Structure 1
Amino acid sequence: MKKVISFIWKSCALCLVAAWFNLLFTDPVIDSVMSDFEYDSTYELFINYRTRQIIEEGELRSFSDCLKKYKTIGTRRKQTGEYKSYNLIINKKLSFVLHIYGGNVHSFYAAPIKDGGIGRYSKPYGVNCDLTLLNSK
Structure 2
Amino acid sequence: MTLTVLAVDDSRTMRDMIRLALVPNGFSVHVAEDGLDGLDVLSGLAPDVIITDINMPRMDGFGFIDAVRAQEDHRATPILVLTTESAADLKMRARNAGATGWIVKPFDPGKLVKALHMVTG
Shorter-normalised TM range: under 0.3
**Between structures 1 and 2, the one with greater helix share:** 2
Instruction: Name the TM-score, length of structure 1 as normaliser.
Output: 0.25
**Between structures 1 and 2, the one with greater strand share:** 1
Instruction: Name the TM-score, length of structure 2 as normaliser.
Output: 0.27
The structure having more radius of gyration, on CA atoms, is 1
